[in-house]
Amino acid sequence: MSGTRRVTLRIQGKVQGVFFRESARTEAVRLGLTGWVRNRSDGAVEAVVEGAPAVLEEFIRWCQRGPTQARVSGVERMDGEATGEFSQFIVERTS
């Protein structure tokens, strides 16, 4: 997967109940990224995203704003090697 990177994000703030996950999925699909996004039990949203570095940075910038009703207070990121395990970008439902 040369040229492809993985980033794991933890987005904090008012990010649940504001259409954040579906909006993030729409943005990731628009950018051609793969991975997933889900709510965390601590109120944050978590995402694992793979794609070209420049496109990942664009997605991270979007996550720092989020959809209109979101109030993002912080985005933690962890960079890593892409695995190529994802074929699309999905919203994971937490049980």
Active-site residue, selected from the candidate residues 5, 6, 25, 39: 39
51-85 pLDDT, tens per residue? 999 999 999 999 999 999 999 999 999 999 999 99
30 is annotated as an active-site residue: no
Q: Where are the domains of the chain?
A: 5-81
pLDDT at 16 over 60: yes
pLDDT at 2 over 80: no
Q: What is the largest CA-CA distance in the chain?
A: 37
Residue with tokens 């909006």: 23
* Residue among 16, 55, 17, 63 nearest 34 (CA): 55
Active-site residue, selected from the candidate residues 5, 6, 21, 25: 21
Helices (H), the chain: 20-31, 53-65
21 is annotated as an active-site residue: yes
Domain 5-81 is of which CATH architecture?
Answer: 2-Layer Sandwich (3.30)
**Could you tell me the two tokens for 47?**
């995402």
Confidence bin at 93 (pLDDT 50/70/90): confident
